[in-house]
Structure 1
Amino acid sequence: MAKPAPMTLARALFSALAWAAQPLLRRKLRRRAVVEPGYAEAMPERFGHYQPPTLGQDGRGQWVWIHAVSLGEARAAGILVNALREQLPEMRLLLTQSTATGRAEGQKLLRVGDVQVWLPWDTLSATSRFIEQFRPAVGVLMETEIWPNLIAACANAGIPLALANARLNAKSEAGALKMKPISRPTYGALAAVWAQTEDDARRLRNVGAQVNAVLGNLKFDVQPDAVQMARAAQWRAALPKPVLLFASSREGEEVLFIDALKALGDKAEAVQWLIVPRHPQRFDEVAQLLSEKGFAVSRRSQWQELPPVSDGAIWLGDSLGEMTLYYGLSSAALMGGSFAPLGGQNLIEALACGCPVLVGPHTFNFSQASEEAVQAGAALRVANMSSALSEALALVADPEHLTAARQNGKQMMQRNRGAAAATARAVIDLMNAPK
């Protein structure tokens, strides 16, 4: 159990800045809501103002609270929630998010009696109202979320709060060390920290966390959606060309992709290209960019029963919640975020769907999983976008190599399973520990 967290000068300064920034946050939310209407939902909750519980929804003292800030964390939270429900069938879930995509994904996890709200902005008053309203039995922050006032409020209220599936890259470690007066007591106020890897554990300890265990990565326990995988298999059988996917592309990377595609000339026509931007607010932007560069665009939102078979058109995956479909449909995937210095995206879901991956030089956010996949022969590291497209075409043209890469990915997934059950046990033990 974490010790009470006294108010320090650093946290007092942080609290003052957080309070002063509230008008800026409101303006930012209104602007984001223009593109993503989900940001306009229940805005008072962002500042700790929640509706009184309806009949049957007052779970004070019972909630298992999980915070999953955005889409990736919400998917990992889903794996943990399923494991918790197996070990704790009567669990009542309190789910919080910070982004519209995370909130939409999180809605899939809710059952009767569960509640989903926005995590409050980290002011003293908002976090106090959150704790008073819900009073969870235990709290779990997913992966990287650290909020000084929220963590201190839980410690002072005797609510055990853990950081699960925890990761910390070298860049974030350096940033935390620069902010020692605020980061060290914040990490130290957590009741438990369960790291993904030994490297994560070492860096977390270095910034002040008491790491209880290294339990692995929850995402290795993912089970691809069977309906989407079946649809993907049906579509693949009907297509005249294999599909190559640029998954979770980030701003600036699409231009690199387009330039490399043009440089290939006629060779690019051997496959069907599919691009799925990481952030939904960029769907229209990427479609416009492709059009301006002279490419026909076929958008997933406009497809009927089957993808259209059209010469030269690039498919744009402008839908939410269908990455399993896109990975299942594709022979291989280029992993976005790794071709610009952004740290890459998680490649585990692709491997779970039997889709080998090509990664660029920048994978520091998921370094261990990326390196293991490369060493296992489930992924291929390339120097730049041009090499990625050339190597992807070569892989698709070599059925033996492609089959081996898929099998290597499945074996890697199997070797790393087990984090979900172990983390669920740790959450339950923390909840039941003497106060």
Structure 2
Amino acid sequence: MRKLNPKKIPAISAAEKFAFLLYNMGWNLAIPLLRINSRIKDGFEQRILKKGLPGVDLWIQAASAGEAYLAWNFVKNLRFVPYLRILITSNTRQGIEILARAADDIMRSEKGKKIFISYFPFDKPAIMKKAVKEVRPKLMILLETEIWPGLMMALKKTGCRIVIINGRITLKSFNRYILWHSLFSRLSPDKIFAVSAPDAERFTLLFGKELVATMPNMKFDRLNSPLSDDENRDLNNLLPSNTPFIVLGSVRSEEEDQVQEIILHLLKRRPDIIIGLFPRHMHRIGTWEERLNHISATSVLRSKIDKTVSSGTVILWDVFGELGAAYGISTAAFVGGSLAPLGGQNFLEAVVSGVVPVVGPYWDNFAWIGDEIFEQGLVTSAANPINVIDMLEKNINKPEQRDKVRDSIGKYIKERQGGTEIVCSYVEKFLKEKNF
């Protein structure tokens, strides 16, 4: 691989040196604890670089499942580059599983692309220095909110171009970053594509106006792509015909008390229903088994179902990759991460399937979708668990016509697509200029 010419970075100040020293010390204290963390222990050897990383042309960091799907769609639409070695990393097991499927899908149809998948290394500066030395990327793509000081400093020193695509930065994160404005200015990406005007303004204040552009959110593109069908599995054989099926999707640990209350009252009001409960993280399955037993709810693990489920049952979903299909056969749905101040989970999945979902009051992570989706009645917002129960029961009694919902959301999405094409064109131009 060709040797890169490192960019000259202005001398780091004493305050910035101290900040990096504290950052490094924080990682030294955290890493031994992370080894026993139920979510982080997967891929731990890769995270600390016990296993080496391949040398590639393009490195893409996709934090979790949502970003992994975007990376899949991005690489699949990257054209006119006949031979390209790509490393895609993720922080979570779900992200890794999605990326592994993406690599198989892409390399089957495009022989010139060689894709490697790995867990994202811990951002301890010494680890990231070693990672960048091994990978030697010419271009680093950071998806959405992935601003890592250790990584960006190491990349800057090698002369690697850094681009943030589908960029988002919350007010909370911005307020934290701006405390070290001089440091983050020094580590600034070469280009930032933000998904909204507020995000663009925050990136501008942090990194400078000349680096920032706006783009449509790539998530709108994925909703109408073949990838949106990767969860399209036949689940109808699980349910009796004409039985209302309620999906409680992407439930986070911080809202489990409220969701437990929703389950209890729904089953009391409507003993004829079946509930599909999808914890956001699989390690909460055991906790939910205990909770459902505590409220004397009849439950079954999705992986253990071998016959049609009876009314009044809660199906505890311990199989990854079926949420989209479950929305597709649901009578009504609630999307989690929204009853506690967590920012919400992706409710577009439900709407695209033809169901009008209920969300709690906290959905600021998806403010980019626009208030119009609520004004058009394609999503409804509840103030508390009791409101959620009332709205779900209303939707059970009088569900919206699926075709009507799909048609309305289809038009809504089409007006907001094109982000993937914009960033692919930018990257293709860069790769052509570098003679890849």
**Into which bin does the TM-score normalised by the smaller protein fall?**
0.7 to 0.9
Partner of 1:105: 98
- Residue 434 of structure 1: how far off its partner (Å): 6.8
- 1:231 corresponds to which residue? 234
Q: Structure 2 stretches of 5 or more lacking a match?
A: 1-5, 108-113
Secondary structure of the 1:269 match is coil
Q: Distance in 2 between matches of 1:48 and 1:82?
A: 28
Q: Which amino acid aligns with 2:103?
A: L
Aligned to 1:203: 202
Kindly provide the CA deviation profile for residues 323-346 of structure 1, in whole angstroms up to 9, marking residues without a partner as x.
222222323321211111111112
Match of residue 348 from structure 1: 348
Which of 253, 256, 267 is equivalent to 1:254? Answer: 256
Residue of structure 2 in register with 1:212 after alignment: 212
Structure 2 residue matching 1:341: 3-state secondary structure: coil
SS for the counterpart of 1:252 is helix
Q: In the alignment, what sits opposite 2:183? A: 182
Write the distance in 1 (CA, Å) between the matches of 2:260 and 2:53: 51
In structure 2, the partner of 1:142 is 143
Check whether the contact 1:244–1:274 (CA below 8 A) recurs between aligned residues: yes
Paired residue for 2:390? 390
Q: Structure 1 residues 97 and 399, CA, compared in 2 at 3 Å: closer, same or farther?
A: closer
Deviations 1:340-386 (A, max 9, x none): 11111122222333332212111111113152321232111121121
Aligned-pair CA distance for 1:248: 0.8
Compute the displacement of 1:268 (Å): 2.7
Q: CA deviation at 1:9?
A: 3.4
Number of aligned residue pairs: 418
Which of 61, 64, 86 matches 1:70?
Answer: 64
Deviation at 1:314, TM superposition (A): 0.9
Q: How does 1:53-68 map to 2 (within 5 A)?
A: 58-59=55-56, 63-68=57-62
Shift of 1:251: 1.5
Q: Aligned equivalents of 1:432 and 1:181: distance in 2?
A: 33
Tell me if the contact between 1:39 and 1:100 (Cα under 8 Å) persists in the aligned partners: no
2:300 aligns to what? 298
- 2:115 corresponds in structure 1 to 114
CA 1:77–1:427 in 2, change beyond 3 Å: closer, same or farther? same
Q: Is residue 223 of structure 2 the alignment partner of residue 241 of structure 1?
A: no
Query: Identity rate of aligned residues, in percent?
Result: 25
Quote how far apart the aligned CAs of 1:50 are. Answer: 4.1
Which residue pairs with 2:410 in the alignment?
410
Aligned to 2:141, the other structure's residue is in SS state strand
> For residues 117 and 399 of structure 1, what CA distance do their matches in structure 2 show?
43
Distance 1:355 1:190, change over 3 A: same
Segment drifting more, 159-168 vs 260-269: 260-269
Q: Quick check: 21-30 or 309-318, which moved more?
A: 21-30
- In structure 2, the CA distance between the partners of 1:106 and 1:269, relative to structure 1 (3 Å rule), is same
Residue of structure 2 equivalent to 1:274: 276
Change (3 A) 1:212 1:340: same
Q: Distance in 2 between matches of 1:149 and 1:72?
A: 23
Name the CA distance, whole Å, in 2 between partners of 1:227 and 1:21.
39
Give the Cα–Cα distance (whole angstroms) in 1 for the partners of residues 53 and 342 of structure 2. Answer: 41
TM-score (norm 2): 0.86
